[in-house]
Structure 1
Amino acid sequence: MSKEISVEGILVGGYTDERAKSGLTVIVTEGDNVAGISQRGGSPATLNTDLLRPGHRQDQSVNAIVLTGRSVFGFRAVQGVVQELFNKKVGFKIANLRIPIVSAAAIYDLYENSILPTEEWGFKALESLSTEIPIGRYWAGKGGTVGKVGGLKYAKPGGQGYYELRKGNVKVGVIVVLNSVGNIYDESGKLIAGNEFTSVDENTLGTTLGVVITNAKLSNSDACRLASIVENGFSSVIRPYNLSLDGDTVFAIATNRVEVKFDELNAMAYEAARKAVVSVYSEGQ
């Protein structure tokens, strides 16, 4: 199943490598935007994220956000995205060049095999750009597993989810890639993926990645706060969350079309985050 992204100025693409049982998800922006980040996991695998934090260049736009499998080796595929955007003359103008502004984060999905990605993954992901995002074990979510609290042998399938809310003219959508140590619960607290354990296997890696997209007008500081609210939503249905070996990271992109009361936007993002996680199992399995 796939879902439609209706936030103006946002396209998505991806690639699934069936042999590697991995892939990547690319979110591409059309026009100026403001981006932010929340990074709470204890063991992040990220690329080019400092520019999205307060204290750097004000209200930075991004050209793309990439969520990838294969841990840090996935950044080779990200380079394919950067190269293709450069070829298309997309990016921040410096003299006669356009430098693509691309941030990325990776999940660890090397348990079944050690097949590494190439730049071709990134090229292929950009060939599929549209407003449709598949739900389930696709793209960056292909090799994701959850419920590894008691150890890898108890792992259940993870995947990619999306949910979007609209209130008046304001739109908020959340993309999630599930590869958590924690179990997955529905909004009533019922276990839907994982196993009930009282202790955590400290040798197991896990990461939840997310991108919150909105047409609201935000500053960089507000975009970072919005990404943090999405992490709050994730933590309400992924338990435990933000462990020392988790790489949990959420990006935010605001396309700056609509004025909004920030607290109302927060409430929408929190709810969309919860529903995005649940969508992996209610609509993608």
Structure 2
Amino acid sequence: MTTGRRDLLTDVRGLLVGHHHVLDRDVTVATESDVGTGSATGCTVVLTTVGTTAAVDVRGGGPGTRETDLLDPSHSVQQVDAILLTGGSAYGLAAADGVMRWSEEHGRGVPMGRAGYVVPIVPGAVVFDLPVGDWAVRPTAEFGYLAADAAAEDFALGSVGAGTAARAGVLKGGVGSASVVIESGPAAGVTVSALMVCNPVGSVFDPSTGMLWGQGFVGSAPTPAEVAAAATLTDKDTSLNTTIGVVATDAPLTAAGCRRLAVAAHDGLARAVRPAHSPLDGDTIFALATAMATVPADDRANPMMAADLRLMDAVCRAVAPVVERAIVKAVLAASPVASIPTYREVFPSVFR
């Protein structure tokens, strides 16, 4: 496999990503004795091309989601118009209304009758970021509309969009993205990509060494003094968290194939965050297939099995490392917000 041209989710043709967030310089984190001040929250929208198949896999014990039941492969609707990833906990799901309004204005959605009416399909998931800043400031429908309107092939990583107030254990989290192109086999030429919002209760680094759990970054070893200092960092004031994301491919997968892709993607999350899928996280990953890549018919297909089994296997093998690397990039790209330390600040010698 080789890294995609941009190393972003949008290396899968037909996908666009947009952020919208608010972030005050004087934002603070709520404590047991005081409320947070300022604003720090946002959302991220993935716009799809027409005909994009989708599925989802929810592994965390405390998810906040919208339209995930609709994505069951046995249900009627097989395609989506957009995916919303948002801060604000369950309140942030209101941002989906703005994404629906934008989609309706652009004629996107399930056609309803002859009058040009459509119902946009916009599943979504949330992270819990309310203690950062004013509890009452959370994404609204306007956030979702503006994020959709800003969607493009190139987009920022780090403390932006849904990752604006994200925290990765004791460190600052954020948005990360990565992609690969499969070079050989039944999926030769197929792209697999991921966009992750990293906000887990678990740790993204090994406390005994300071090195990131996830692969994809090679740096110097932290000093013993840095490792000792990291051990003194106090845990955040809440155990309600979540890592959410979108994985995608241009392979022609069915809804059932997308479901298997979402399942496999969680392996990458579990490699980069420990523990993952806890009762206190709402870990949720959506999977998209745009079917814009041309793949040859499988002349080795077994008539007793799915016709795209070998293609699906190759794509699933690729997705976990991409998710793992997207989470690493989220942590490395994060910038300081509300005095939450970044990995770069805590372990500066890694970047010598």
One fold, TM greater than 0.5? Answer: yes
**Does the CA-based 8 Å contact 1:3-1:133 persist in structure 2?**
no
Q: Helix, strand or coil for the counterpart of 1:176?
A: strand
- The answer to which of 36-45 and 182-191 deviates more is 182-191
From 290, 296, 299, the equivalent of 1:255 is 290
AA of the residue aligned to 2:286: F
Aligned partners of 1:24, 1:84: CA distance in 2, in Å? 15
AA of the residue aligned to 1:137: S
Aligned partners of 1:139, 1:202: CA distance in 2, in Å? 22
Aligned partners of 1:6, 1:116: CA distance in 2, in Å? 30
AA of the residue aligned to 2:171: K
AA of the residue aligned to 1:54: P
**Does the CA-based 8 Å contact 1:24-1:140 persist in structure 2?**
yes
Q: Which residue is 2:64 aligned to?
A: 45
Q: Helix, strand or coil for the counterpart of 2:11?
A: coil
Aligned partners of 1:278, 1:201: CA distance in 2, in Å? 20
- Residue 202 of structure 1: how far off its partner (Å): 11
Q: How many residues align?
A: 274
Task: Find out whether 1:177 has 2:200 as its counterpart.
Answer: no
Write the mapping of 1:135-150 to structure 2, written as runs, cut at 5 A: 135-147=157-169
**Does the CA-based 8 Å contact 1:22-1:139 persist in structure 2?**
yes
Aligned partners of 2:43, 2:244: CA distance in 1, in Å? 12
Task: Find out whether 1:124 has 2:146 as its counterpart.
Answer: yes
Give the direction of change, closer, same or farther, for the CA distance of 1:129–1:144 in structure 2 (3 Å limit): same
AA of the residue aligned to 1:72: A
Q: Which residue is 1:13 aligned to?
A: 18
Q: Which residue is 1:80 aligned to?
A: 98
Gaps spanning 5+ residues in structure 1: where? 148-154
Task: Find out whether 1:101 has 2:121 as its counterpart.
Answer: yes
Aligned partners of 1:76, 1:282: CA distance in 2, in Å? 30
Alpha-carbon displacement from aligned partner over 1:67-86 (angstroms, at most 9, x marks no partner): 00001111112111111211
Task: Find out whether 1:64 has 2:82 as its counterpart.
Answer: yes
Q: Which residue is 2:303 aligned to?
A: none
Aligned partners of 2:330, 2:236: CA distance in 1, in Å? 24
Q: Compute the RMSD of aligned alpha carbons.
A: 2.5
From 236, 243, 246, the equivalent of 1:208 is 243
Give the direction of change, closer, same or farther, for the CA distance of 1:202–1:275 in structure 2 (3 Å limit): same
- Residue 52 of structure 1: how far off its partner (Å): 0.8
**Does the CA-based 8 Å contact 1:181-1:207 persist in structure 2?**
yes
Q: Which residue is 2:316 aligned to?
A: 266
Q: Helix, strand or coil for the counterpart of 2:243?
A: strand
Q: Helix, strand or coil for the counterpart of 2:155?
A: strand
Aligned partners of 2:143, 2:236: CA distance in 1, in Å? 32
Task: Find out whether 1:167 has 2:189 as its counterpart.
Answer: no
From 17, 20, 35, the equivalent of 2:54 is 35
Aligned partners of 2:236, 2:176: CA distance in 1, in Å? 26
Aligned partners of 1:9, 1:83: CA distance in 2, in Å? 20
Give the direction of change, closer, same or farther, for the CA distance of 1:204–1:195 in structure 2 (3 Å limit): farther
**Does the CA-based 8 Å contact 1:183-1:195 persist in structure 2?**
no
Gaps spanning 5+ residues in structure 2: where? 1-5, 25-38, 184-188, 206-211, 296-309, 336-352
Larger strand fraction of residues? 1
**Does the CA-based 8 Å contact 1:9-1:255 persist in structure 2?**
yes
Aligned partners of 2:276, 2:108: CA distance in 1, in Å? 36
Q: Which residue is 1:152 aligned to?
A: none
TM-score w.r.t. the length of structure 2 is: 0.73
**Does the CA-based 8 Å contact 1:3-1:134 persist in structure 2?**
no
**Does the CA-based 8 Å contact 2:87-2:138 persist in structure 1?**
no
Alpha-carbon displacement from aligned partner over 1:28-79 (angstroms, at most 9, x marks no partner): 0111011010101001100011111132126x11000000000111111211
